[in-house]
A and B are shown apart, each in its own frame.
Chain A
Amino acid sequence: MAAKQLVQIKVNGRLREATVEPRMLLVHFIRNIPGLTGTHVGCDTTHCGACTVVLDGKTVKSCTVFAVQADGCELMTVEGLMQDGKLHPLQQGFKEEHGLQCGFCTPGMLMSSYALLKKNPNPTEEEIRWGISGNLCRCTGYQNIVKAVQFAASKMDKGAKDGQLPNIA
């Protein structure tokens, strides 16, 4: 067994550190060290996207990243989406448009959608479908997820125009 290493990751703005085996997957770090169990494991082969998180601004599937690779990085999980006790427009959109059923894919979907809207605040339906195409959902058939992202995009756009909504972190 390789020597353990100290890993420090800023998770949702808070520094989390642990001495872990180099083979520890990032998803297990997230779930076990800070105990943030919103990030799920669904497939082991990087297909399902239930473990999607935002690492230094980019979405990664945290089952295919070692925790040591994320050392010194900033990481955002679904638990970091709410701000000031308020649901993020994406979270609101998923609820309003019935974009979730069992909820297992939802955290990963939210993170992919979040990264998509950061990059492209007004995506077309096709762009949304491609933007979440790395995340599998067995329940919804995606249609209401697309609507949820559209809901959020429109709300964020309106908020930005009204100056009410800060540019989301």
Chain B
Amino acid sequence: MGSCRTSPEVGGMGHSIKRKEDLRFLQGKGNYVDDIQLPDMVYGHIVRSPYAHARLKGINTAEALKLPGVLAVITGEDLAKANLAWMPTLFFDKQMVLATGKVLFQAQEVAFVVAEDPYIAADAAELVEVEYEELPVLVDPHKALDPGAPLLREDREQKDNHIFHWEVGDRSATDKAFEEAEVKAKVHAFFPRCHPSPLETCGCVADFSPATERLTIYLTSQAPHVHRTLFALVGGIPENNIRVISPDIGGGFGNKVPIYPGYVCAVVASLTLKRPVKWIETRSENLQSTGFARDYHMTAELAASKAGKIQAMRVKTLADHGAFNAAAQPTKFPAGLFSICTGAYDYPTAFCEVDGVYTNKAPGGIAYRCSFRVTEAAYLIERAVDVLALELKMDPVELRRKNFIAPHKFPYASPLGWSYDSGNYDAAMQVALDTIGYDALRKEQAEKREKGELMGIGVSSFVEVVGAGPSHTFDIAGIKMFDSAEIRVHPTGKAMCRMGTKSQGQGHETTYAQIVAEELGIPAADVTVEEGDTDTAPYGLGTYASRSIPVSGAATAMAARKIREKAKKIAAHLLECSEEDLEWEPGKFSVKGAPSKSKTIQDIAFAAYTNMPAGMEAGLEAVDYYDPPNLTFPFGTYICVVDIDKGTGEIKVRRFVAVDDCGNIINPMIVEGQIHGGLTEGLAIAFMQEISYDENGNMQGGTFMDYLIPTSVETPHWETGKTCTPSPHHPFGAKGVGESPNVGSPAAFVNAVVDSLSHLGVKHIDMPIAPWKVWNILKEKGVVS
């Protein structure tokens, strides 16, 4: 804590203070959406399609309506009368709220049953008779553009399954670099469809009050303000009559950014029945129908000199977006920030193209703990570099170090158009190598290979791009991606801070309070942070894309600095001196050269309400809407060591060292917790998880029986380390960290397994690397019989 500017009692930046929000969660007093009980509340249940592609021939709701306790069955045709059968997605497409005409994926929403009791609602859903006529199913995205492929989206003018083609970079210069290259490496890497699966599923309580004509929606929302605006725009309800409350959120990871049909149905039902309507999805519904992530079929090529200098990168990607392009991403680029795929390396030329297609799968894809395709990008380049290292017969660490962007080159203009704010990649690499003892591990590996034993060392030196975003590039429905903070200092020197973001477990109630403590010297314990109520919080775009600290954190500092400016005027008045004679240290202004003459922030706060200078407005508060000048670029090096059981193909992660650089850190304990959690999600993606479909479009990962979440037993012990390269454009040099471990780790895991088998000629294995895949390779290579 030696470098902290504040005492542990004040708890500003750098202090691992314990979390303020924990107390209620530990007592079972959290307030999640499903915990909300309102008088006269009724319950919704969705009837879903068993087919992946079928014509809807008719819906008979009579039997369901006969069941005592059933209040309504809403269908797509009902919604169509209110022009609500379809809704816009967050990315230039639309999706059905309730199906009309046909269904396009298994578990698509077909009808919404409302009953007095959730058990009755579920019973009634069984009684809704839906007649389907099955249609040919399109599962393989590689066949989506075939001439004979079934046309999925008949509603579009464009009569094929192509959503977009997007390219960035210099195609001809890249092609030329490849023609002239001494060494080339190529990898086909599929990043499987996976799902964020927060432990709390999605849901809402929609409560329209005829008495006030106001609609209150308690919502599992990572972006409550944006959702309010979208409800107003799409539903035609005056925005002042909508109040969205995101109470405690049981994990989000991107899953709770989109608006889902269930929310819209609950709102329609509440407006119709004039009663509160609760809709909470089951786990299967969550897995089958809400925002999935990834599903990128990628090919990367690297061109390099024999000496191992990378000269160019070429990327071609097929993106499977499912039935609707419900990508929840606010960039202007169809593939989001995928063009960060050139990575941590310094070379002049790259070209990247992405084609998006429709298939008969759940719509998406959302950014699962990553800034809009950064995970796919980081995985791709870190895999490709390892393949290049094999081509060059060079150690993958040596190859990375030869090509890192040097520290003096920042801000660095990447070949695909980004301006990296700051970085020192070799420093993070060095810490990781020292921590894990890289040279000794390589020696051990060589010895083990002699004995026929399999161990692998995987390295990933990722670069992220987070903190969306500068308003010139980022918006949702036109709303620029600023974010906000409002700080009110009470007469007794305590403060209330309200934010445009929304924590889902990241510890905002603690970290924002620490920013106020750092900037104003008010102890973090005296600062209450509130988020998620659109009636009271300043407008913001929400929490995802590691943007809370880069954007709202910056806004908090700026608002605090506005308060400090006013405080200075009050201090000068109280000390009867000029403002120029004052100097600030966290918590007080004192007269230069006469430190005993001082006023604390608490003295000043009281005076702001009781003894302000003539002509000054009362009060001590400020609001700031922060539009970041650039994104931030956290980075790090992760090293994974695996041991392979030849008999079973089982992979044991022996060690994993994660060295992160997220700039200046507010609360090291919370940052470390974020890294542990993200690494565990990365582990799951690398080794366990895939949302796959059979040839009829039946979803294969619809429960936690099939879609595996690692338990404490599969999860290894994580070792963390850090370097610190502050962002030069952020008010206090922070970069954001929540996503780094999920972005950076999959490549480290896969690289480690491939490394364990590379002497057998293995260059790539697609995730999830289950033991059977390894065992099959060992069998194929004659290692086991």
Contacts and interface: CB of A to CB of B under 8 A. Distances in A.
Contacts of A138: 197-199, 251, 253, 677, 681, 709
A101 B718 contact: no
Interface residues of B, number: 55
B638 to A, nearest CB: 14
Contact of B507 (A21, A101, A142, A144): A101
Given A82-B27, A102-B200, A47 B677 contact: no
Nearest to B123: A1
A108 B96 CA distance: 37
Contact of B713 (A110, A130, A139): A130
A132 B32 CA distance: 23
Contacts of A102: 198-200, 248-251, 504-505
B653 to A, nearest CB: 12
Interface in A111-151: 128-130, 132-146
A98 B669 contact: yes
Contact of A48 (B22, B32, B35, B199): B199
B712 A103 contact: no
Contact of B709 (A21, A31, A47, A143): A47
Contact of B712 (A35, A91, A145): A145
Contacts of B673: 98, 101, 139-140, 144
A43 B283 contact: yes
B200 A104 contact: yes
Contact of B506 (A101, A130, A146): A101
Interface residues of A, number: 56
A104 B251 contact: yes
Given A45-B703, A146-B712, A139 B30 contact: no
A105 interface: yes
Given A98-B669, A103-B250, A104-B199, A23 B119 contact: yes
Interface of A is mostly: loop
Contacts of A129: 712-713, 715
Contact of A42 (B21, B26, B199, B248): B199
Interface string B167-198: 00000000000000000000000000000011
Contacts of A103: 21-22, 24-26, 30, 248, 250, 505
A138 B197 CA distance: 8
Interface string B246-279: 0011110100000000000000000000000000
B505 A136 contact: no
Contacts of A42: 199-201, 250, 283
Interface string B503-520: 011110000000000000
Contact of B676 (A37, A48, A143): A143
Contacts, number: 172
Contacts of A104: 30, 32, 198-200, 250-251, 505
B717 interface: yes
Interface string B13-27: 000001101111111
B199 A133 contact: no
Interface in A31-85: 31, 35-45, 47-48, 50, 77-79, 81-82
A144 B676 contact: yes
Contacts of A21: 119
Nearest to B667: A98
Contacts of B672: 98
B621 to A, nearest CB: 30
A143 to B, nearest CB: 5
Given A95-B18, A100-B22, A138-B253, 12 more contacts: A38-B29, A48-B199, A98-B19, A98-B669, A98-B672, A101-B506, A103-B505, A105-B199, A135-B712, A138-B681, A139-B505, A140-B676
8 contacts: A35-B37, A45-B283, A45-B704, A48-B709, A104-B250, A141-B678, A141-B715, A143-B715
Interface of B: 18-19, 21-30, 32, 34-35, 37, 119, 197-201, 248-251, 253, 282-284, 504-507, 669-670, 672-674, 676-681, 703-705, 709, 711-713, 715, 717-718
Interface of A: 21, 23-24, 31, 35-45, 47-48, 50, 77-79, 81-82, 87, 91, 94-96, 98, 100-107, 110, 128-130, 132-146
